[in-house]
Amino acid sequence: MTRLILALAAVLSFAAAARAQEEDVSIRGNFPQILARGETVVEMANRIAVMLINLDRKIAPPCGMKRIFEFAGADHYDANDLTKKIDPGRRGVWRLVVIGKGCWSPRMHNVFLFPRVGAPAALRLGVPGRSVAGVRHQQEATQLVLREANGIAMRGNCEEPAFLVDTALTKARKPGQPWQELWSASACEVTRKFAVMFTPEGGKMRIAVALSE
């Protein structure tokens, strides 16, 4: 059973008034205590919130409502395939799902957690949404998508850097087979969709990106 039995019954929250914008932010939910090694659960939750806040503000700009990050689950996966849940005793990666609420539509954020002996876990921000690409392949695809998105934006006289808004699976991933996802990137308040094609080839992954509109 790879899904954690959550140990905390209380709701966690922290006030993080964004100094420049005086925005009220809180993080809530029964975060898994077993993953908070070398720190308290509250400290781990706060680190996650700090990691998420900048991207969440880009996706959903401050609107006067309270911004909430709500813990929505944690599972242990093969680091190269987020369709494969594996036993926590095996080498892999924890993916924590956090939902951003308040200000516009809910956003699904993903944080990869790597436990460390005698120290707080290392955290890495995944792409928003439901991508099933592994940790490294998400990073590679992000570079390709943002390069395309920034190029299109610059040709339209937009000087703001693009950022990812969402990802979705459009063709189911099967072992050893190609699959496709739809990634959304935004710049200067224009969101564009990109087809991201993942093709396993001889132990490597070929990633291709094309504008979907």
What is residue 18's predicted lDDT score, i.e. its pLDDT?
39
Compute CA distances 40 → 8, 46, 111, 166, 171, whole Å: 12, 10, 18, 30, 40
What is residue 118's predicted lDDT score, i.e. its pLDDT?
85
Cβ pair 63, 45 in contact under 8 A: no
Question: What are the domain boundaries of the chain?
Answer: 25-125, 135-211
DSSP 133: B
Span 116-132, pLDDT tens digits: 988 999 999 999 999 99
Span 9-60, pLDDT tens digits: 333 444 443 333 478 999 999 999 999 999 999 999 999 999 999 999 999 9
Q: Is the pTM of this model over 0.85?
A: yes
**With bands split at pLDDT 50, 70 and 90, how would you rate the model's confidence at 2?**
very low
Residue 211 has phi, psi (to 5 degrees) of -60, 135
Measured between alpha carbons, how far is 147 from 173 in angstroms, rounded to an integer?
25
Q: Which of 60, 133, 124 is nearest to 94 (CA)?
A: 124
Cβ pair 166, 184 in contact under 8 A: yes
Q: Which residue in the block uniquely carries the two structure tokens 């990109």? A: 194
